[in-house]
Amino acid sequence: MNKISVGSRIKFTLSEIAQLGVLGALMFGAQVALAGLPNIEVVALLVIIFTLHYERKALYIIYLFVLLEGLAYGFGLWWIGYLYLWTILYGVARLFRKNTWALGWGIIAGFFGLLFGTLSSVPYFFTGGLGGGVAYIVSGIPFDLVHCAGNFVLVTTLYTPLTRLLEKVRQATRKL
């Protein structure tokens, strides 16, 4: 099978390039679909699952998603946070990659939701000073609590079925 090299280490098959593109678009579509529900999202779940399956290549999915978010909603201050927020979750998922318990991933996603406002506040410390940054964190706490609960429930319940589904898809695409 033909492989395409990026740098000296990562090699892609054409099938993988197509998969990464589709999954990045899927992640964006899932975010848009749930945009009406405040801080209820499946992006964290998808980042975890894609990281476990695609390892370093998952970064291409994540940054395609981030680019699409910027194109759709504008490259505002919030977008700077997106440049590192999902990569932090990627790093944590890589760190705990041997974990196979859905509940364990639910706990990790819950903490990520709880810390989301604090992690995304960094640009606001630069624009609004110490007071502005702290105000941003404090005003966002109720939404972080909802984010935490939503992530915990969604990841705990959907991690196993979605992992199985992705494994089936990957097996099917290997034959292509």
Partner 1 sequence: MNKQKRSLLIAGVALLVIVAVVAGVYFLILRPQGNAGLKDITVEVVDLEGNKTSFNISTDAEFLRGALEQAELIGGTESEMGMFITTVNGITANDGNQEWWCITQEGEMVMFAVDQVVIADGDQFELTLTQGYE
Q: Which of 3, 29, 71, 75 binds partner 1 (CB under 8 A)?
A: 75
Which one, 13 or 70, has the nearer CB to partner 1?
Answer: 70
Please enumerate in sequence order all residues whose Cβ is within 8 A of that of 171, keeping only pairs 6 or more positions apart, or say none.
none
CB of 157 to partner 1, least distance (A): 14
**Helices 14-33 & 122-174, crossing angle to 10 degrees?**
130
Q: Name the residue nearer to partner 1 (CB basis): 63 or 70.
A: 70
Contact stretch for partner 1 (CB under 8 A) within 4-12, 56-64, 101-109, 160-168: 101-109
CB of 12 to partner 1, least distance (A): 33
Measured torsion, CA atoms of residues 135, 141, 144, 150, in degrees rounded to the nearest 10: -160
Residue that is written with structure tokens 């504008």 in the block: 74
Secondary structure (DSSP) of 97-144:
TT---HHHHHHHHHHHHHHHHHHHTHHHHHHHHHHHHHHHHHHHHHHH
User: Closer to partner 1 at the Cβ: 141 or 165?
Assistant: 141
**What is the C-alpha separation between 59 and 12, in angstroms, rounded?**
13
Residues 6+ away with beta carbon under 8 Å from 159: 45, 48, 49, 102, 105, 106
Q: Shortest distance, CB of residue 162 to partner 1, whole angstroms?
A: 20
Binding pattern for the stretch 126-145 against partner 1, x by CB under 8 A and - elsewhere: -xx--xxx-xx-xx-xxxxx
Q: Closest CB to partner 1 among 15 and 99?
A: 99
Q: Please, which of residues 24-63 interact with partner 1 by CB under 8 A? A: 38-39
- Of the residues 103, 126, 160, 164, which one makes contact with partner 1 according to CB under 8 A: 103
